[in-house]
Each structure stands twice: as structure tokens, then as C-alpha cells.
Amino acid sequence: MRISAKNALKGVVKNIVLGAVNAEVLIELPGGTEVTSIITKGSVENLGLKVGSTAYAIIKASSVMIGVD
């Protein structure tokens, strides 16, 4: 897999919640950190995502916001 994004986080699919159109996919990274993404139900099917399978959370953003209390 070759991509332009610098943040490709490899992990294991921990949970998938399917909706009518979209799906919430939870990926657990090494060390226990979890990343959740909302993708289309069709993408879940096309990628063959299943709980326990290996997947990448790929993050590409033009800006990252930071906040404080």
C-alpha cells in the first residue's frame, strides 16, 4: 500500500456498528489507543472489514486544532 498521508496507524478492528448507510469502525492500535471512523457501509463491505482483521486508520488533514481549558 502506497499513500501520500503521513499518518497511517496500523491496528486491529475491534468493533463495527452498521447503520442503514454508514458504519462506525473502531480500530485498536498497539498500546490500546482506539481510533473511530465513520465510513460508508459499502466501504466496510468492499474492504472486507471484520472484527479481528488488520486495518489502517489513515489520517490526512490540512490542519489539526488544539484546545485548552
User: Model-level pTM greater than 0.95?
Assistant: no
Instruction: CATH number for 7-59: choose from 2.40.50.100, 2.102.10.10, 1.10.230.10, 3.90.1150.50.
Output: 2.40.50.100
pLDDT 10s digits, 36-66: 999 999 999 999 999 999 999 998 877 778 7
Ramachandran class of 31: left when φ > 0, alpha when ψ lies in -120 to 50, beta otherwise: left
Give me the residue spans of the domains in the chain.
Answer: 7-59
How many CB atoms lie under 10 A from the CB of residue 10?
12
What is the band of 5 on the pLDDT scale with cuts at 50, 70, 90? confident
